[in-house]
């Protein structure tokens, strides 16, 4: 199945831009970025705490972070797979050059294999990682203006 990892160079940028637009809306709808920012309530060691007490506080904070990460992942998956499944499928389809109305003409296995091939392609991941860095840098610079 065709995807961004095995398409023609002449197809790549147009499809990547379609995906970029869909992902922008999807991120807003699913609130993934906001969910990722959720942090646990950190414990602070008292000023007179012993080294052992400080170490225990650090350990409890690490455990709180791990628990929060699990909660965040669950919330992200619920949002993606339960609250916005059509939008999630749209992005998966676009990665495979499948228009949203055509997604059910393919098997789940075909889609999983194509997406697995895509996310295992170092060049494609590097391209999108670079784009995200550029967007983040642009956003940071724009907020300083």
Q: What is the pLDDT of residues 74-92, one digit of tens each?
A: 999 999 999 999 999 999 9
DSSP string, 78-143: IIIIIISHHHHHHHHHHHTT--GGGGGGS-HHHHHHHHHHHHT-HHHHHHHHHHHHHHHHHHHHHH
**Average pLDDT over every residue of 107-112:** 92
Distance CA 61, CA 78 (A): 25
Residue 113's pLDDT is: 92
pTM over 0.75: yes
pLDDT for residue 75: 97
Do 20 and 132 meet the contact criterion of CB atoms below 8 Å apart?
no
The span from the CA of 143 to the CA of 10, in Å, is 34
Question: DSSP 3-state assignment of 49?
Answer: coil
Residue 137 confidence (pLDDT) = 67
pLDDT in the model for residue 47: 94
Does the pLDDT of residue 141 top 90, yes or no?
no
pLDDT of amino acid 143: 52
């Amino acid at each position: 199945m065709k995807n961004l990892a095995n398409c023609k160079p002449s197809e790549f940028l147009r499809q990547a831009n379609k995906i970029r637009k869909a992902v922008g809306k999807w991120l807003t709808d699913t609130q993934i970025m906001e969910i990722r920012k959720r942090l646990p309530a950190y414990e602070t060691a008292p000023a007179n705490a012993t080294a052992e007490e400080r170490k225990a506080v650090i350990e409890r904070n690490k455990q709180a972070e791990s628990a929060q990460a699990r909660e965040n992942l669950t919330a992200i998956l619920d949002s993606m797979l339960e609250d916005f499944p059509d939008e999630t499928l749209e992005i998966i389809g676009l990665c495979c050059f499948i228009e949203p109305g055509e997604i059910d003409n393919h098997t789940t296995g075909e889609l999983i294999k194509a997406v697995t091939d895509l996310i295992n392609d170092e060049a494609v991941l590097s391209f999108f990682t670079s784009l995200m860095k550029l967007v983040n840098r642009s956003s940071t610079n724009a907020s300083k203006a």
